[in-house]
Structure 1
Amino acid sequence: MELLDTAKNLNRFLPPPFRRKPSWRDRVRAFLIFPFKTRRRRIALGAVFLLLTAVTLVTSFYAFSFYQKIRPTSATVSYLKEGWEQKDFAKISASLEELEKGIDGLRTYYSLLYFLRLVPWLGSYYADGIHALNSLDLSVATGQAVLRALEPYRETLGLGAGFGEGITVEQRMENLLGTLPSLADDLDLVWANLGKIREELNRIDPNRYPDSFRGVRVRFWLQEAQNVLNETEPLISRGKEVLELAPALLGSPKRTYLVLLQNDAELRATGGFITGFSLVTVEGGRVADNQSHSGAYFAQTYPPELGSPPPMIGKYLNVRKWHFQDANLSPDFPISAQTILGVWEKSGFPPVAGVMAINTKIVADLLNVTGPIRIPGYDRDLSKTGLPEDCRQGGRDFTSVNLVCRLEYYVEKAPQGNVTTEERKAIFDKFSDALIQKISTSSAEIWPQLFDFVFRHLKEKNLLVYAVDAREEALIRDLGYAGEIKEYSGDYLHINDSNFGGLKSDLYMQEEVEQSLQRIENGIWRKTVKIKYYNPVPYDAWLSGNYRDFVRIYVPKGSQLVSVDGSIHIWTSPTTWATEIQNPAGWEEFGKTVFGAYFTLWPQVEGYVLTFVYDLPPSFAEAMEDSGEYRLLFQKQPGTNIGLVKVQIGDMMRSVDLTSDQEIKISIER
């Protein structure tokens, strides 16, 4: 400090050209130094105080005035809501016009607060207000565009005072579905505006705002608006085609879907063992019929099967027939769906328009939205039993934590007495009815959550969809909801686990994946994939058992297998296995090279790692040199236990959570 003061003092004695120019901090310090220290400080502090007071008063005045301007707009919103509930076209149109004028007035008045953008902390709130006003403007314009498109169909849809009084909800829905294709060409502005609204809202941080203000859940509704628009972005971007196909998809004319319930506690290629199925008939946008059965019902009632099982199913499940419940062997869901429909048609079932697959994970997560459910006859208190910890939680209710375990308990343990398989699985029907009742009696806040819920699980592959119609299937693929193995020009990895005889161990299994790449002498890139498995729950011969896993990894076409460590059997052909590598080239599916392995793992065994080492094709090295970038698409298996995924090239590492398909990019030195 003394040395610094000495340097400053010497600066005063230097010739002007050599003196250091004082900074603004030096000038402020000079203003406040002795002998005028007390007087000048008082003047400075007084000036700052007066400035802050003036800013506060002006801001408060404008904020209060702005609030007064908002109140009439709030009344207009209530009028708009009333018109929507009454399906009154004229009232909705008038409300939107008033709302447009009100927003213009708000924007004019809000511009008077422009100076706030320069004030620390307040500037971010001012910017949020601009984004909110822009969103409101776009929302009103979008609503008006929809009304213009609907104008020719007002009477048909019952939109207006006196219109539609004799039209039932079902008739109105039928009329709407018939109208949608005609609207497709008139709503281009709507799709464009929805994209802009999403961009504006995403620039607002909901965490800056209170949970509730004057009875309005500000943060909740802002987060829900962002979530819904983000999750439906693929749908919005293809809005025209969606409208054209929506009537057929929603049952105009009537159609039936085959819905598969996949138990991801017993993981299979497309999500889980097929424990049951439903025939869901939709007509005019509503569910007209729903028939549910266990997977065993199919085998008992309709004997035709798929013929001889594939070698891996025959060997590890020790069966001589390929059963319906095991038909989802292909990791490409459209292929598995076609296989299932093949035996479906041979068995004499009525034709269906498509196949949907639902993992139990989605049902458990739904209880996070609805809250716990209690079902009479299935409401035992299991807290003091010797069942696994997740089963014992929740008291007498089904919760997101205990759902899968308790369903297994009532189906497998059958505490209700000696009953048939169909009777034991009646719990699924009762649970479905209770869940629908819970949703239908919930508050309005649940609907945007459900909307976001469906699209999030489509993205996370807990809900898969296949359509028989080629155009519908093409749209589903473009939206990313088909569950197919995708084409990709860079590095690629898909790890597919099939639990062949490990009970319900996937309920607890934990997996991590580590990948590393190094360039070897001939310029080829050698890749090492380590898959770590661990089941922390003790063996109970019911849910947690000896894990028997058939693993396939899908890698870029032309890759060559170098080694496999940690397996009992190595598969380099879809028909044969060995204890050593027989065919380094593996086999080809979906434009990818495939390597397989089989291993077993007891619960609570730590440190188990299955390792694949393979050389990527020469074209991969050339592409990396040209682009200077490493690109990887890691496609998630539906229902997978894989959480953390790491990729390392030299000193560079990237980590992602595998909640959905992930693309990873790393810049490399050329």
Structure 2
Amino acid sequence: MKKKWLVSIPLLLLIGLLAVWSWNTAKTAYHLMGLRSEIKAVIGGDPDNIEPLYVFSLLNSVNQDLYVLQRNLTPIYPILPIFGRMAAQVEPALTYLDSLVNFALLYEPKIRPLFNEGLQNHVDLANLIDSFSEKEFVSQIDQIGRDVEEHRQRLDILKLPYRFQDDFKLLDKYLPFINLSREILPQLGSLTGADKKTDYLLLALNHDELRGGGGFITAIGMLSVQNLTNISIDLQDSYSFDDLSKDYPLPPLPLQTYMLADYWLPRDGNWSADFPESARTVQMLYQISRNEKMKGVIAFDQEAVRQIVAAVGPIQVDPQSNTWVNQDNILNYMQESWGSNVDSSDWWRNRKDFISILGKVIVQSVMDSRDINQVTRLARTSLNLLKQGHLMLYFNDPKLESVLASQGFDHGVSYQGGDFIYWVDSNIGFNKVDAVIERELKYTIDLRDPMQANADLIMQFTHQNQSGIPCEHIATYGEEIAYQKMMERCYWDYWRVYLPPGSQLIDYESAIVPGENLLNSQTWEGQLDQLSDLMDLSMIGGLLMLPTASQQKIRLTYQLPDGIVIFKGTKGYYHLDLKKQLGLNALPVEITVKIPNDYQFVDYPADSQINQNSLVYKFLLTGSDDHLIISYQP
């Protein structure tokens, strides 16, 4: 009997410990599940309504639960796979969550003091930059960021229970931020002039007069930054940088042919649709004019100004007249300022002075306030503008430029395989008519013969201005000088479409442009340019003249190269990379995909309309690019 008791005691202890372990694990898992709705509300909610202190409190609670679960489950991780594919994902899922939370909590000591009660949300930007640049912090960000990437690769979300799959997909949207943190923090001091004053070439673009690298360069200047405590802006009319005594190169052929340009001047430097190339060209032309070197290029357009003003709040641009601007009236203010004081003999010389005034007031407003909420909104807005193509950056330092490229923020144009479309317009009409042009892209891809994919591309233009005026292709402000009048003109456009390398034009429709409507007096009879200025991409380019209150379309039919569809077994994968022109607010798109009759669609975008072997997908492209993936099988 005594021996039985001796044997039973360890067994009872084991059962007791197992019961405690099970209860503790279940209780912790239940508590973590209770936090799930709060976490999803934070991830999917409006960033402007998120309280950082609440988020850190929530993350700490999650961290405690994950610690207990990891401690309790680590001994049994090796045997979980024998219970099925879902059980096998427990360890990768918890480890991935743990690394994500640890990464986020690295920022708590840096950010929490900024929101502590009594500091009135004011922030010392210079100290904040120094704090984020500390070597130990940067090293921790890099190491745990690597852990996050490694653990995410081990996790197969599709093997998780269905109700958890969306949770982890939501978390994935933070991966680009983690990668960006790892790459940008080591360079933060150099970017912000922490060590010494940093000068950037500043380009104010006008998206009412589109060019390949955004809009026409209406003003050029310098942005000087030193430790984020001393920021100065100097913007001048881009025409003031013309120095015809200097030896400028010849401009691109379309500028020579249709605008009779003899010199490639800085204001026309962003002709290329590849922004890094445009940035390098503008700097080269600027150095001919002024012989000054910069660290890089910052370019922005009116939409960027509007969104930045929305982020910082109303600002006073003229104390004497008590003139204030906000996100609703800023565009009108800029247009009216351009056309003010037209009776003055110095009107042309001073017509763009408001650009520099506005830039200085915006910067001063941010520097004076130093409100952490305002700084946060401004940072978030800047990131969105980068994604939308209204704010463009270029760094001469290859390491810094590679950071932008790794995140897709360099606005470079490169071919990565599959199908590709980049429609680019360049206003060559000496006007601001892009403000009243509506565009629509319709694209049909016929994959019924996988060995010979054919495409039909329609670019549709609608001139919304209803004033009936003759189409005179001349460089003039007109008798009545007003910005609005610059929109009431015909539209002259040199259009380009970049396609996959090896694409072969089969047929096209494009209206002839009479010589009487062109500055060079030579009729454009529809001859297309097919010599691409971008490496690894085919190009088709031509001319368009669109009278007011009219609509035209350009239609291109072409054969795509081999390899557009990739087959894995019997399943075909079609990938389309579609880019939106820099400076364009939005582009309505309609994609039609046709597949063989004996195949059916498997993966495709939500909201697609399917009719047997045909798929139609309509959407509004607002970001700088979109990636469409469609699969089909028998």
The TM tier, using the shorter chain, reads 0.5 to 0.7
In the alignment, what sits opposite 1:337? 279
SS in 1 for 2:381: helix
In the alignment, what sits opposite 2:404? 476
The structural deviation recorded for 1:338 is 1.2
Matched, 1:617 2:580: no
Matched, 1:407 2:349: no
In the alignment, what sits opposite 1:511? 439
In the alignment, what sits opposite 1:579? 525
The structural deviation recorded for 1:581 is 5.0
Instruction: Give unpaired runs (5+ residues) of structure 2.
Output: 1-33, 39-51, 69-94, 114-122, 153-168, 468-483, 515-521, 595-613
The structural deviation recorded for 1:530 is 0.8
Matched, 1:499 2:427: yes
In the alignment, what sits opposite 2:79? none
Alignment of 1:19-58 (within 5 A): none
Distance 1:305 1:669, change over 3 A: farther
The structural deviation recorded for 1:582 is 6.9
In the alignment, what sits opposite 2:470? none
Distance 1:97 1:374 in 2: 38
The structural deviation recorded for 1:644 is 1.3
Matched, 1:538 2:475: no
In the alignment, what sits opposite 2:381? 453
SS in 2 for 1:589: coil
* Deviation sequence 1:93-117 (CA, Å, 0-9, x none): xxx9999589969x99xxxxxxxxx
Letter matched to residue 277 of structure 1 = I
Distance 1:485 1:625, change over 3 A: farther
**Preserved contact between residue 269 and residue 328 of structure 1 (Cα < 8 Å):** yes
Instruction: Give unpaired runs (5+ residues) of structure 1.
Output: 1-65, 71-83, 86-95, 109-133, 151-156, 158-167, 199-225, 381-395, 571-575
Distance 2:419 2:97 in 1: 43
TM-score normalised by the chain length of structure 1: 0.63
Letter matched to residue 271 of structure 1 = G
**Preserved contact between residue 181 and residue 243 of structure 1 (Cα < 8 Å):** no
Matched, 1:662 2:626: yes
Range 542-551 or range 363-372, more displaced: 363-372
The structural deviation recorded for 1:615 is 1.0
In the alignment, what sits opposite 1:363? 305
**Preserved contact between residue 418 and residue 563 of structure 2 (Cα < 8 Å):** no
In the alignment, what sits opposite 1:589? 534
Distance 1:147 1:431, change over 3 A: closer
Letter matched to residue 137 of structure 2 = L
Distance 1:624 1:512 in 2: 34
SS in 2 for 1:308: coil
The structural deviation recorded for 1:333 is 0.7
**Preserved contact between residue 517 and residue 526 of structure 1 (Cα < 8 Å):** yes
Distance 2:395 2:511 in 1: 38
Distance 2:629 2:485 in 1: 43
> C-alpha root-mean-square deviation of aligned residues, in Å?
4.5
Distance 2:416 2:131 in 1: 40
Distance 1:292 1:588, change over 3 A: closer
Matched, 1:264 2:207: yes
Letter matched to residue 575 of structure 2 = R
In the alignment, what sits opposite 2:545? 600
Percent identical: 20
**Preserved contact between residue 231 and residue 455 of structure 1 (Cα < 8 Å):** no
Letter matched to residue 572 of structure 2 = G
Alignment of 1:69-108 (within 5 A): none
In the alignment, what sits opposite 2:225? 282
Alignment of 1:203-222 (within 5 A): none
Aligned length: 490
**Preserved contact between residue 222 and residue 234 of structure 2 (Cα < 8 Å):** yes
In the alignment, what sits opposite 1:247? 189
The structural deviation recorded for 1:612 is 1.3
Letter matched to residue 184 of structure 1 = V
Distance 1:377 1:253, change over 3 A: closer
In the alignment, what sits opposite 2:137? 183
Higher helix share: 1
The structural deviation recorded for 1:147 is 8.0
SS in 2 for 1:563: strand
SS in 2 for 1:265: strand
Distance 1:419 1:143, change over 3 A: same
Correspondence for 2:509 among 551, 565, 568: 565
The structural deviation recorded for 1:578 is 6.0
In the alignment, what sits opposite 2:494? 550
Range 329-338 or range 314-323, more displaced: 314-323
Max Rg structure: 1
Distance 1:413 1:543, change over 3 A: farther
SS in 1 for 2:457: strand
The structural deviation recorded for 1:543 is 2.2
Letter matched to residue 414 of structure 1 = N
SS in 1 for 2:318: coil
Distance 1:489 1:98 in 2: 43
Letter matched to residue 185 of structure 2 = L
**Preserved contact between residue 415 and residue 500 of structure 2 (Cα < 8 Å):** no
**Preserved contact between residue 580 and residue 587 of structure 2 (Cα < 8 Å):** no
Distance 2:334 2:63 in 1: 52
* Deviation sequence 1:185-239 (CA, Å, 0-9, x none): 222465479999x9xxxxxxxxxxxxxxxxxxxxxxxxxxx99x98874242243
Distance 2:457 2:256 in 1: 28
Matched, 1:467 2:410: no
The structural deviation recorded for 1:314 is 1.3
The structural deviation recorded for 1:474 is 1.1
